[in-house]
Amino acid sequence: MNDFRPGNFQGAVARFRDAIRQEGKRREIPELQAILSHERRAKALRPQWTKVAWAGAAVVALMLGAIPAYERAQERQRESEQEKADAVLLEQVNAGLARSVPRAMAPLMDWAPGN
Amino acid sequence: MESAAARHEIAVSMEDRAGRIVDLGAADFDTVVRLYWPRIFRFALASLRDRDAAQTVAQDCFLKAYRGRERFRGEASLLTWLMQIAVNLVRDNARNRRLQFWRRAPAYPVDGQAVRNWIPDAGIDPEQRILVQEQVDAVWNATARLPERQRTVFLLRYVEEMELLEIAAATGLKEGAVKIHLYRALRSVRAHVGRLR
pTM of the shown model? 0.66
Domain positions in chain B: 1-110, 111-197
pLDDT digits (tens, 9 = 90+) for B95-143: 887 766 655 566 566 666 777 777 777 677 778 888 888 888 889 999 9
The count of C-alpha atoms lying within 13 angstroms of the C-alpha of B125, restricted to the half-sphere facing its C-beta, is 3
Of all residues in chain B, the percent with pLDDT exceeding 90 is: 40
Q: Above 70 in pLDDT, residue B15? A: no
| Cα nearest neighbour of B67 on chain A | A36
Residue A77 is predicted with a pLDDT of 93
Kindly tell me if the per-residue pLDDT of B78 is higher than 60: yes
When pLDDT is cut at 50, 70 and 90, the band that residue B14 belongs to is low
Across chain B, mean pLDDT equals: 81
pLDDT digits over B34-75, tens only? 889 999 999 999 999 888 889 899 999 999 988 888 777 777
The DSSP 8-state label assigned to residue B146 in this structure reads S
Q: Averaged over B159-184, what is the pLDDT?
A: 93
Mean pLDDT of B9-24: 53
Please say if the pLDDT value at position B91 is more than 60: yes
Q: What is residue B120's three-state secondary structure? A: coil
C-alpha angle B153-B156-B158 in degrees, rounded to nearest 5: 100
Residue B20 has a pLDDT of 44
Residue range A91-112: mean pLDDT, rounded: 77
pLDDT at B4 over 60: no
Which residues of B are less than 8 Å from A5 in CB distance? 131
Interface residue of B28, B118, B119, B137 to substitute, partner A, most A CBs within 10 Å: B118
Query: Was domain B1-110 assigned CATH 1.10.1740.10?
Result: yes
Q: How many pairs of residues across A and B have Cβ atoms under 8 Å apart?
A: 101
- Cβ-based contacts of B159 with chain A (< 8 Å): 16-17, 20-21
Q: Please, what CATH class does the domain formed by B111-197 belong to?
A: mainly alpha
Task: Check CB contact under 8 Å for A12 and B136.
Answer: yes
Q: Which residues contact A71 (CB under 8 A, 6 or more apart)?
A: none
Nearest to B74 by CA among B160, B16, B137: B16
User: Which ipTM was obtained for this model?
Assistant: 0.79
The reported pLDDT for the residue numbered B185 is: 93
Contact between chains at B34 and A29 (C-beta distance less than 8 A): yes
Burial of B62 (0-12, 13-18, 19+ CB in 10 A): buried
pLDDT at B29: 80
B165 CB-side CA count, 13 A: 3
Residues in B closer than 8 angstroms to A20, CB to CB, are 42, 45-46, 118, 159
Chain A residues touching B141 at Cβ < 8 A:
none
By C-alpha distance, which of B188, B191, B190, B147 is closest to B171? B147
Instruction: Please name the member of B42, B161, B193 whose beta carbon is closest to the beta carbon of A23.
Output: B42
The whole-number pLDDT of residue A9 equals: 84
Please tell me which residue, B106 or A64, carries the higher pLDDT value: A64
Region B178-189: mean pLDDT is 93
